[in-house]
Every structure is written in C-alpha cells, then in structure tokens.
Structure 1
Amino acid sequence: MKDNIRLIVGLGNPGSEYENTRHNAGAWLLDEIARQYGVQLKPEKKFHGLCGKALIKGKEVFLLFPTTFMNLSGQAVQALANFYKIPVNEILVLHDELDLPTGTAKLKLGGGHGGQNGLRDIISKMANDKNFYRLRIGIGHPGDKNKVTGHVLGKPNKDELKKIETIIDAAASEIDSLVTGDWAGAMNRLHSVKA
C-alpha cells in the first residue's frame, strides 16, 4: 500500500435501536479506534456525521461515523473528503460483510459494493471511483437471501458477539500499520486471526 490513510469511516445506522445490530460492526470498530486514540466523536453538521481527529503515528487522521442512514453514507464521506481535499485512495471504510464468516476480517482495495448499501452510496457520491480501502468485518450469511435484512438488522447472539468483538480488537490494533502503509503486514496478521 503506497497511500496514506487520512480518513477512516465506520458504517452503521444511527439511533439506539440499531446500535447493537450486526450492520453496525463498522461503527463498533470506529468507536474502538476512537477510544484507543483518545478521540471524542462529535456531531458535525456540515459532514452529516460524528467526527473527530486522531494522531496516529504522527499523522492526522479523520474519523467519521455518518449519521445519515446506511444507504446515504456517501453524503458524509463526500462532504468531509471534499472539504479537506482527501482523495478516494486515502479513505478506509470499515463495514460489515455478509460473505465472510462471523469473527473474520479482510482488507481490500477497490471492488464493487457487493450489495452493501453504504458502499454503494459512497461509490456513487465519489463519482463512481471505487478505489478506496475497505476493512470488512464478517457477520456471516443467514443462508437465505430473504433473511438477509433481518440478519443484518438483528443483534448477534452471545457467541457471535464474542467473535465480532475479538476481530474488532484485532483490527483496531492494526490501524497503526494501515495508516503508515504496512498493508501486507496488517493483512497477514488480520487474515490469520481465528476468533
């Protein structure tokens, strides 16, 4: 990875009824990163979200939780990225991933949205540029496409929650490496975690 990450976005839905749902796994990870670096995320109207600034390995990195609903996440990303002139390839998006087993995480650059509405909106608002980084947190698939909505908007059981928390801790501890460009190292470590 040659790009410096300057903006980390955690996807989820706002409001207490969504707070503990699988769909908010990206927001949980963002909260953990904010806690780790002593950052308080504050409401920022012009960026349609909760926002803060972390100093990570001497680099200034914005943390953003869009408080639009998931399918309008791009609004917040576009507003902040345009304001601070952050190119797409310096953005890392944290999000839940149906196609990964619960308690696993994968890093990737670019690609489609895979039906994830937050990603879909970010891609369209960033002029269809897909070249941002993604950290995907596995929430497992319910096995039937008709059950997907209930699954992502449902709360994980105790066992799943433990696995998700384990992988979130592992992912949060790789943020230093990701910000400083040690993508390969972070990938190797994260992909080998067995929650």
Structure 2
Amino acid sequence: MTPQPWMPGDGGEGGWGARRHAPATLRNREAIAAVLADWLPASGTVLEVASGSGEHAVHFAATFPHITWQPSDPDPAGLASIAAWRVEAGFANIAPPLMLDAAASDWPVDGADAILCINMVHISPWEATMGLFAGAARLLTAGAPLILYGPYLEAEIATAESNRAFDVSLRDRDPAWGLRGTAQVIAAAADAGLAFAERRAMPANNLMLLFRR
C-alpha cells in the first residue's frame, strides 16, 4: 500500500499508520546526498532540523553509515513518522527524534558537528529561519557547516514559473510562509555569525546553500 502524500502541518493517519510520505524526498534525496558527500564531515553527529516525514534521515543514514543522524521536528505528526521510519529501517546511526522548534531560543541538544535543514525556510515563518541561524551559531564549532536545501528567489536569476506558482500556493496556505530571497537569507546568517561559503544549483529549481560557523 502506498502512503498518502503529506506536507508538514497535515494530519490524518493514512494507510501507513504513523509513517508519512513526502513525495519530494524520493525525487531529491540522491541529488542532496551527492552534495552532502562534499560538505559533511567524515564522521560525527548531524542535527537535521525540521526532518518532516523522516524519509531523508533514513536515506542519509544508509548513505553515510559513519555519521550519526539526529532528526528533529516541531510537529507531533512528523515526530511520529520519523520514529516509525527509524524503527522500520533499524539503523543504529539514527537517534530517536527530538521535539525541536527552530524558532525557540532553547534547543534540546548541546552540540552537533553539522546542521542540515531541508525545505523548512519557505514552509515556516521567517522567525524559524532566524532561530535556525541563532541555534547554529550556538551549537556549531568554528568551521562547522550549516546546510540548507530548498527553492529560493535570486535577484539576478529569473524565477521559474513553477517556483512562482509554489510561492503563491504557500502564501495562500499561510501568509507567513513563502519563498525567501538568497540575499535576505545570507544577510540574516551573517548577522548571526555564520559565513556564506557556497551555492549549488539543484534539480527542479532548488538550491543548496552552505554556511560555516
């Protein structure tokens, strides 16, 4: 049985019980993993902020067996899904998911060797992104990476029609959501003490952005 497509904030049990399925994870996980291979440390703990369904955590734990994956999410449905996917996978290098609101000033984790955040910046209020940068500045050691993935607006590059339509649909769903400009994101990161290091163009008009503490 195929799980029902799901987006953060959606409820319902669906045919797979607690497990949720975000269709984009199947489309983008290999491309993201290829960049992570260049940007992540060889070992240590990666804190994934806003893990969503948990499907990425399972795939990356299999791809990078020498790294411990610490998934997190603020949504109870997301946490239940992550836990269910983790149990099914049975990988020793996936930690139990943490309830973590990126916008909060206090996170339930003391440190990480890298932080990964996929598709949160546009599906959350701007305060979550500001909190993400503040949290990364607290947790990461000098030179450690914060990695973002998702669709962004760039002043010097025409926005794809699909991204324009996606932006409208997000803002219709919640006026606090929507695609952010890379200049805005880079400036906010710099204010928190994070240096912008690299931009990678990704399939389907997405980007990966690398910051370092």
Larger Rg: 1 or 2?
Answer: 2
Whose RCO is larger (CA < 8 A, sep 6+)? 1
What is the TM-score normalised by the length of structure 2?
0.30
The alignment's TM-score, normalised by the length of structure 1, stands at 0.32
Structure richer in helix, relative to its length:
1
